[in-house]
Amino acid sequence: MSDLQSFESPTPRLKSWAEGGLLHIRFNNPTKHNALSLEIWEALPIVLERAARDPRVRLAIFAGEGEKAFASGDDVSQFEDQRAAHEAVLHYERVAETALQAIHDFPKPTLASIRGYCIGGGLNIAIACDLRIASMDSVFAVPATRIGLGYLFSATRNLTDLVGPGNAKDIVYTARRLDAAEALRMGLVNRVTEPALLPALLNEYVKAIASGAPLTVKAAKRVIQELTKPDADLDLELCHRLILECFESEDYAEGRRAFMEKRKPLFKGK
């Protein structure tokens, strides 16, 4: 993919680049286990907005630099300056909520590839993604009650939607650490594998998603999002329109021909 600079993050704490239809977003603060900062939260919507407009991007992959952490939560050393005074707290919360909403609303599939610590804000980012795969040495937790901070509304909603109210209360109330096996049982992650096999599992997902019809994936993502809303807020007209667009697309015709000709389809997202 050309024009890689258009996907560069405005901060070195967040690496971002596009390659082969993939948008890579990598948290880059390994000396602090990829702790998140205000500048990272501010950069995420900027990178995602650019990628959303580019038809060459098929999938966004979130990961952490190194092998110790996906992201170990917000940088507590910055809290006294950035999350103490009333106005500073409100600003930080708005920026973080905006970033999480940008991930949730990104029109293309998002996948968190998790190794090591996935704590607090890092877990919030992971559960805002569509899919999560993790290595067996991953650790998950929400330590909000150990600090006394209020847990973000969007993150609480995402966690509850994902694991149910009972498990969400368990995770938040106790602040206990979950290993990858328990996270899998709860539904917090989709797949778990040995650390050395995580790149292969990621590649499996990349190939499966990238080879599918883009319009079908787009429709599925939006329809599933609509189905998580209360019935009164469900946009059935939008759902039907997205599904109809698939049937009226060139890709649907190509898919039918490829099936009859016993070959792999070549989808164009049209």
Give the mean pLDDT of the chain: 89
Give pLDDT, residue 247: 92
pLDDT band at 64 (very low <50, low <70, confident <90, very high): very high
Q: Does position 148 have pLDDT exceeding 50, yes or no?
A: yes
Q: Does position 1 have pLDDT exceeding 50, yes or no?
A: no
Give the distance from CA 87 to its chain's centroid.
Answer: 28
Give pLDDT, residue 231: 83
Region 144-160: mean pLDDT is 85
pLDDT band at 2 (very low <50, low <70, confident <90, very high): very low
Compute CA distances 2 → 20, 22, 178, whole Å. Answer: 9, 12, 41
